[in-house]
Chains A and B, each alone.
Chain A
């Protein structure tokens, strides 16, 4: 069986001290650790070695955690094709795993592995050292079987970073566990988020929601008529950002420079052409199309994004949390085409568009689907407490 790891730390775990001492963490090769190869899953970065620690890596190390290696990722972390994210936690090789979430990758990988997956609020965790594609949407996700571990990691890594000025000047949430009172906690279920589900998926999701009602939460259906626009906005804004930002990955100063070109122009084109995979190319082409041919559509999408953020803020003002499915309607679990990839992320992309936090819980029983919970921006601590409350109830019920 081929390894799920791209790189294994040759050092063995040292018994360090700190809040995360003893925690065994896997990362992916799009998260920089000085001296480790970081190819971000792309031939464009083949043999590129990180020069500096990403801020998340630096803070985890300082808190005493051990980084056991990096697991295989999709190209630049977009989609899950050829990704092995989540398997290290599933197989208990690692206690937690860091996975970039730009469309919902960390959450879907967690769902597939049957573990918890958390996407923090945008702006809470430094981007420094993350090799991504969609800067305004991606954030470092955390996978683990234990929400306590996830909380511990957030406590260690969240907060201002002098190396990342893009982080908004906000106070960092207090990640201490909060007491959840189900009767005073309203959970909304957006009807439109289920529209693409198959009958079977719908039934599994209904069972997951039932668990919430049984736990005493005030569950009610809510409406978000513009729900389909989340994916549309992600398609346009995300791909335009990626198309522009991927210019940085030139495959010339590192990676594989294509031989035989007659001049620099040909050399750049040939190297990039030979390095990028088909899915990534379709994604970048789509972005280039909107950037060069339909710029006004891009501007419209930016405006609609602002409106969606405001509408979501209103909705999460009416209820405390949202409950949604995780998987979209894609038939292939690891699709390699752009359309199928988007369908796969139809229920997760909203949080990348708005920057709000979202948590995936594994199903409580065989009949259930994994459950996605979301809250308003910076409600991370409360959201994790809600997840922990539900997991505790499950243990008590056994």
Chain B
């Protein structure tokens, strides 16, 4: 029997707010344990949660960025469960009235076809404390770090629209890009600012039934999400084929053994409305104000790049993935660099160079002004591509302008026909074999001859003029 999987994701995203969700403590969970704490986030008797406006704004921008509809009325509930990472016994979460509903992301499936993966709802909740298990001599002890307690989270709950690990991974990549775009979170699974749980069930292919699902947690990268889902699909398919029943439970992904293992469930009760956090009522005016703050989203921006700058869909998508790259690209175009040149030099030269130096595009020394000046000299035939690559290296190391570097280091292109002609004659005289090949119809011999002349010029010759002069000479002689 052939099986197909029905998969839904629950994605926790930690918002990069300055403070926690219900108090003014810094939202820096990674600091020394229990340094960012106060009576409110320790949930001490008498403390009252005070909902942060910044958390609401960042969460709302995230919802709008994913095409979800902000609800006029949302509210926090007490999600009751007992665990030492939650010593007050309940977590503030929007169980009944979420912040936003709907929305979704278009991905390309395995066949390159567009597939819509829908979002059911997006709600806000506070993070819980972190448990650290250690040994004190031979005694196992558990320590609680409250730095993370009360950090602002949103949870994105999808519809069970996913069928394959590919869908999940593409969705997560696109989600990460979009959330980074609106600036609400870094969305890194590696450092824990994005955490993904997958609900997976299997059914005979072609049927529409919804079978008992299994929840899988503890994946630390998008790759692991794909692996864990693939493992779980095959595990469940085998179990069903062997006539075993799938029971509702939670499993943990073991990245080393590459298997999922069952875990003990937490006791969870129904949610009751929290009486202390006021109901959140969003006016159409406020929602509009947020919408105006929304940057151009990647899909829209890529579409515009194709139309406005004549790029291919692939090129436009590449540039739009990271908002900083997109902004940098347009900063070059605004400075009069041809879009294709800008795209090409950004993708093949600048970005790899920045990455190699472990720098960030926004803060590295080759500003759009300097890079545009360099590309202008290239376009104006003042330097050739070889020289431009070398000047780029110098731009990382010195504060001089590209013009100064070219001048000081003699990168100026030799376009003087007289000087080049002497070098060409020399090459024709010494490379008789190549000349013969060319005449015999081997086109690539021309390239070889151009290389010889270029070498003779110390790399500074204008390749276009060499080609012209060479072609003229070869044709004249024949």
A residues sitting closer than 8 Å to B (CB atoms) are 32, 38, 40, 45, 48, 50-52, 54, 127-131, 135-136, 162-166, 240-241, 244-250, 252-253, 264-265, 268, 291-292, 295, 298, 302
Contacts and interface: CB of A to CB of B under 8 A. Distances in A.
Contacts of B48: 127-128, 163-166
Nearest to A298: B272
B325 interface: no
Interface string B27-45: 0000000000001001111
7 contacts: A38-B46, A240-B272, A244-B80, A247-B90, A249-B45, A264-B142, A291-B270
A45 B275 contact: no
B389 interface: no
B275 A136 contact: yes
B272 A241 contact: yes
Contacts of A40: 45
Interface stretch (B81-89, B313-321, B408-416, B446-454): B81-89
A265 B278 CA distance: 32
Interface string B132-166: 00000000001000000000000000000000000
A155 B43 CA distance: 30
A240 B50 CA distance: 22
Interface of B: 39, 42-46, 48-51, 78, 80, 82, 84, 87-90, 142, 269-270, 272-273, 275-278
A250 B89 contact: yes
Contacts of B46: 32, 38, 50, 52, 54, 128-131
7 A-B pairs closest in CB distance: A247-B89, A136-B275, A135-B275, A248-B88, A131-B45, A129-B46, A32-B46
B269 A292 contact: yes
B45 A165 contact: no
Contact of A127 (B42, B270, B276): B276
A135 B51 CA distance: 16
A250 B85 CA distance: 12
B39 A247 contact: no
Given A162-B50, A165-B277, A247-B82, 12 more contacts: A32-B45, A40-B45, A127-B48, A127-B276, A131-B45, A166-B278, A244-B89, A244-B272, A248-B89, A250-B88, A253-B87, A295-B270
A51 B39 contact: yes
Nearest to B270: A295
Given A48-B45, A131-B46, A244-B80, A292 B270 contact: yes
Contacts of B44: 51
Contacts of A252: 87
A268 B82 CA distance: 9
Contacts of B276: 127, 135, 165-166
A131 B272 CA distance: 19
A38 B47 CA distance: 13
A40 to B, nearest CB: 7
Contacts, number: 82
A65 B51 CA distance: 32
A291 B80 contact: yes
Contacts of A244: 78, 80, 89-90, 272
B33 to A, nearest CB: 15
Nearest to A161: B48
A166 to B, nearest CB: 5
Nearest to B89: A247
A45 B89 contact: no
Nearest to A129: B46
Contact of B80 (A164, A247, A264): A247
A45 B46 CA distance: 12
A132 to B, nearest CB: 9
B270 A250 contact: no
A302 B42 CA distance: 29
A50 B39 CA distance: 10
Contacts of A129: 46
Contacts of A298: 272
A166 B275 contact: yes
B337 to A, nearest CB: 52
A245 B273 CA distance: 11
Contact of A291 (B88, B272, B277): B272
Nearest to B77: A244
A45 B88 contact: no
Contacts of A163: 48, 50
A159 to B, nearest CB: 16
B125 to A, nearest CB: 16
Contacts of A50: 46
Contact of B275 (A51, A130, A241): A241
Given A51-B39, A165-B278, A253-B87, A248 B270 contact: no
A52 B45 contact: no
A342 to B, nearest CB: 20
A253 B47 CA distance: 15
A9 B272 CA distance: 39
A97 to B, nearest CB: 19
A245 B49 CA distance: 13
B407 to A, nearest CB: 62
Contacts of A162: 50
B51 A165 contact: yes
Nearest to A253: B87
Contacts of A249: 45
A231 B42 CA distance: 34
Contacts of B84: 264, 268
B240 to A, nearest CB: 33
A252 B87 CA distance: 8
B274 to A, nearest CB: 8
B24 to A, nearest CB: 11
A292 B87 CA distance: 20
Nearest to A250: B87
A284 B50 CA distance: 26
A247 B43 CA distance: 10
Given A166-B278, A244-B80, A244-B90, A52 B272 contact: no
Contacts of B51: 165
Nearest to B50: A165
